């Protein structure tokens, strides 16, 4: 059975509930996988797992209908890129700090900001940076256009993501260990400031969102 969230909820990465995995904004569809607390759950829009505290069960309401994933063409998604970009800029102007697992305003992690920005226009993408990298159409850095995603990390895995704005700039939520604590705009350049240089050294590539995530999609 599926439920709708009546409040912004924290989901944790273990039954000990001591580390945030992600958040579920009001109106998200959620499925309970266990009958006793702490509850193992799965978010329906992105198949993301987590654990819900017993006291938060009161904020779930039975869904009258199951989640129906939206279907958008690549062209329809591109038409909404301006709104996606504006979402990230508005989020940057609101006082914020980096929050590991954050997907709800005002505090986001890198992939949480991307997921929330696309969700604001009805487009669903996976939760984590490495999942987002696998989901998108890969684009060469030289061919990036505003609204594309830019991925950073190790040679083995994407660990960070930002939204390309054009003119070699991208917006992202960055942690203190990389030189900032929140949302900012940086350069895809080895000649920029310290934050830009730090991330540029970890650059993996770019990608374009050309579809909305469908549950069960790998």
**What is the chain's pLDDT, residue by residue, as a tens digit (218 residues)?**
899 999 999 999 999 999 999 999 999 999 999 999 999 999 999 999 999 999 999 999 999 999 999 999 999 999 999 999 999 999 999 999 999 999 999 999 999 999 999 999 999 999 999 999 999 999 999 999 999 999 999 999 999 999 999 999 999 999 988 878 999 999 999 988 999 999 999 999 999 999 999 998 76
pTM equals 0.97
- Say whether 138 is catalytic: no
Residues 38 and 138 in one domain: no
Residues 125 and 20 in one domain: no
47: CATH: 2.30.30.40
**Does residue 189 form part of some domain?**
yes
Task: Give the pLDDT confidence of 157-216 residue by residue, as tens digits.
Answer: 999 999 999 999 999 999 988 878 999 999 999 988 999 999 999 999 999 999 999 998
Residues 104 and 132 in one domain: yes
Residues 54 and 153 in one domain: no
**10 Å Cβ neighbour count for 102?**
23
Residues 113 and 27 in one domain: no
Range of 127's domain? 74-208
pLDDT at 44: 98
Most distant pair of Cα atoms in the chain: their distance: 54
pLDDT at 178: 82
One-character DSSP codes across 111-153:
HHHHHHHHHTTT----SSHHHHHHHSEEE-GGG--TT-EEEEE
**Does residue 172 form part of some domain?**
yes
**Does residue 9 form part of some domain?**
yes
**Does residue 168 form part of some domain?**
yes
Measured distance CA(102)–CA(196) in Å, rounded: 22
The first and second tokens of residue 112, run together, are 């949480």
pLDDT at 218: 64
Residues 110 and 137 in one domain: yes
Burial of residue 106 (number of CB atoms within 10 Å: 0-12, 13-18, 19+): middle
**Exposure string for 5-20, b = 16+ CB within 10 A, e = fewer:** beeebbbbeeeebeeb
Residues 23 and 122 in one domain: no
Residues 96 and 6 in one domain: no
Cα–Cα distances (Å) from 107 to 14, 95, 165, 167, in that order, read 21, 9, 21, 26
Domain count, the chain: 2
**From 42, 44, 138, 160, the catalytic residue:** 160
Residues 93 and 194 in one domain: yes
**Does residue 218 form part of some domain?**
no
- Helix or strand (DSSP H, E) at 182: strand 182-187
Identify the domain boundary among 17, 38, 62: 62
């Amino acid at each position: 059975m599926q439920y709708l969230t009546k409040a912004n909820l924290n989901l944790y990465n273990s039954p000990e509930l001591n580390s945030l995995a992600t958040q579920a904004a009001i109106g998200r569809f959620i499925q309970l996988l266990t009958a006793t607390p702490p509850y193992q759950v799965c978010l329906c829009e992105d198949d993301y797992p987590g654990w819900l505290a017993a006291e938060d069960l009161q904020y779930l309401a039975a869904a009258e209908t199951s989640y129906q994933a939206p279907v958008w063409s690549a062209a329809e998604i591109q038409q909404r890129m301006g709104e996606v970009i504006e979402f990230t800029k508005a989020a940057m102007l609101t006082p914020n700090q980096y929050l590991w697992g954050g997907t709800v305003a005002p505090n986001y992690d890198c992939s949480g900001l991307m997921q929330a920005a696309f969700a604001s226009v009805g487009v669903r993408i996976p939760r984590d940076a490495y999942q987002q990298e696998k989901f998108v159409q890969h684009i060469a850095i030289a061919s990036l256009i505003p609204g594309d995603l830019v991925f950073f990390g190790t040679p083995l895995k994407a660990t960070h993501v930002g939204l390309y704005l054009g003119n070699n700039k991208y917006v992202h939520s960055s942690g203190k260990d990389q030189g900032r604590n929140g949302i900012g705009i940086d350069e895809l350049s080895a000649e920029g400031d310290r934050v830009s240089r730090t991330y540029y050294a970890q650059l993996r590539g770019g990608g374009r969102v050309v579809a909305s995530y469908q549950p069960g999609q790998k």
